[in-house]
Structure 1
Amino acid sequence: MGKIIVTGGAGFLGSWLIANLLKEQGNKSFPAFKEIVSVDLADCPVKDDRVKSVRGDIANPDFAEKIVTADTVAIYHMAAVLSGQSEAEFDTGMRVNVDGTRALLEAARKTGKKPFFIYTSSLAVFGGPMPDVVPEDLALMPQSSYGAEKAIGELLVCEYSRKGFVDGRVCRLPTIVVRPGKPNSAASSFASGIIREPLSGIKSNNPVPASTLMWLSSPDVVVKNLTHALTVGEQELGLKRVLNLPGLCVSVDEMLESLERVAGHETRMLVSEHPEQRIIDIVCSWPGNFDVSRPLSLGFIRDRDFDSIIRQYRDEFVTR
C-alpha cells in the first residue's frame, strides 16, 4: 500500500480533508493507502499515527521529488498563495501557484506510476461578461493574478493527464463559508467574516455591494466532495477533467438575512457596509451561479441551504 500526499495539509481545509481521508482507509472503492503525508510550512494538526508532516517548499523541484515517490497513490494539491496576496505580490503568487504545481506534476511524472492528482482550483478563473448561470465549458478570462495562476494550473493538470503522466481531476471550489479562525489573505475572506465575527459578538464589515452573488459551500461539504473526487472513474470523467463543485448561489444580502434568522437582529446589526474597492474589483469579477448538473450526476453533493451552513458553524464552533 502507498501514501496520499496533501499539500497545504497544515491549513484549516487541508487538515479537515486529511481527517476525512483517514476514514476511507480500507474502503474498497478508495485507493489503498497506509499513510497520509501533509506537506506545508507547518505541521498538520491532525494527531494520528498514519499522518506524517513534512515541511518544505513545493516550488523547489528537488523537494518535490523527495516527497512524491513511487509509492504515491494520490496527490491533493491544495497549497496556494491566496487571491489578495497573489494580487499584491505577483512574483510570490507565480512561484508558488504556478511553479509549485509544475514541480509536483513533474515529480509525479518521474515516478512512472500515474498517481491521482486532485487539484483545487477556483471560480476566480472566470471573469468578463458571463451568463447568469455559468456552464462548464465557458472560456476562462481571469481578472486577477490568482485566477490566472489557477487557470494555468488547470491546463497543466489536464495536459499531464492527457499524456498519461497523472490521473488528474480539477476541482473548482466554491467560496468556503464559514471558515473558523482568523481572516486570511483571500479577497473572499469577508464572506466568512460577516458570519463568524457577529456570531462571536464581534463587529465585521461587508466590503462589496449587498446584491453581489456568491457561490458558497460549507467546509464539510467541500471536504466530502474532494474525498469523493478520488472515487470517480476515469471513464466517467472522459476528456472533461475539470469540475465546478456544487455550491449555493446566495447574495450577500441573503447571507445577512440568514444570519438574522439564525442569530437575531442584534447579531445582524454587527455587520457594517463600507465599500472596499480592492475587494470589489476581485470578488465582483467572479460568477455567482453555475450549472453543476454533471458533478451532481457523478455523485457530488451540495448544502441544503445557507441557514443550515450557519447553524452547523454555530453549533460546532460557537455553542459549547
Structure 2
Amino acid sequence: MVLSSDPQWSLTLLNGWRLTRDGRRQKVAHRQQRLITALALLGERPRTFLSGLLWPDSSDAQAAVGLRVSIWHINHELPGLLDADGNTDVSVALSREVMVDIIALERELDAPASKLSDSYPKWERLRTAELLPGWYEDWILVEQERFRALRTAALDSIASYHLSQGNTEETKAASKLAIALEPFRESSYRLLIQAHLATGDLVSALETYRSFAADLRQEFGVGPSPSLAKLIDGAVGNSGRQMDFDSLPLSQMLPSLRPVTAKSEAPGVNLGWVLATQKL
C-alpha cells in the first residue's frame, strides 16, 4: 500500500472558521483567512478580482500588494494549500485536495429530496449550519444569504416529498425548520398548513395561517397571497363546519381581496395581492 505524502487539508466555514492539516489545526491570520475563504466560496479567480474584492477601499496598487503579501504568507506558512505562486500566476485557486465543508454539504443537497428525507439530524444541520457567523463584509453577506436560501429550499423540498408520501409528521418537522430559517417564506407555511389539513386538524391550520398573516401585516403591512387564503377557505367549506376564531366567525377572519398598490408591496414577499382585513 502506497501512502500519499500530500497534506490532507480540511477547511471548515460553517459555524466558524477552521483549517486543519493532517488533522492538526493551523493558525492563520485573518487577512489570509479572507483570501482562503474567497477561493473556497468563489473558486479560482483572477488576481485583479481578488484584490478588488478583499481590499475595496485601497488603490489598485495597494490592493495588489496586499494580495501578493497574503499569497506569500500562505505559500510559506501553509505550503500546498494554494495553486499559485507569489508573483507570476494570473489567477489563484485552492488546491484541489482541500476539503471544504460547505461544498460537501451543497453537493449532498443536489440529491433528490427522496435521498435527503430519511435523516432528521441532517435536517437540523440545515437549520443550524450558518456560514461564517460574525463576518459582515458585503461579499460574505451575499454568500450567507445564498446559502440560507439553499438550505430553506432543501427543507421545503424534503417537506413536500414527505407530504406526497403521506408522512405528515415529517412534513411538519421539515417545514418548521424552514420557517425557523425564513420566517416570512409562504411556501413553508403552505406545506405546514397542508400537513395539518391532511390530518384533519383544521384548528391548527387556521392558527398557523392567522399567525403567519399577523406577522406579515406587522412586518410589511401586507397579508398572505390569495391562493393561501383560498386554501384555508376551501378547507373550511369542505369540512362543513361553522367555526369561530377568537370570537369572530370564520367569514370575518378570512380576508377579502383587493389589488396591491406599489406603496404597499413588501420587499422579498411575492404577493401580487394584499389581503384587506380588519382582524389581521
Q: TM-score range by the shorter chain?
A: under 0.3
Greater strand proportion: 1
TM-score using structure 1 length: 0.25
Q: Say which structure, 1 or 2, has more relative contact order (CA 8 Å, 6+ apart).
A: 1
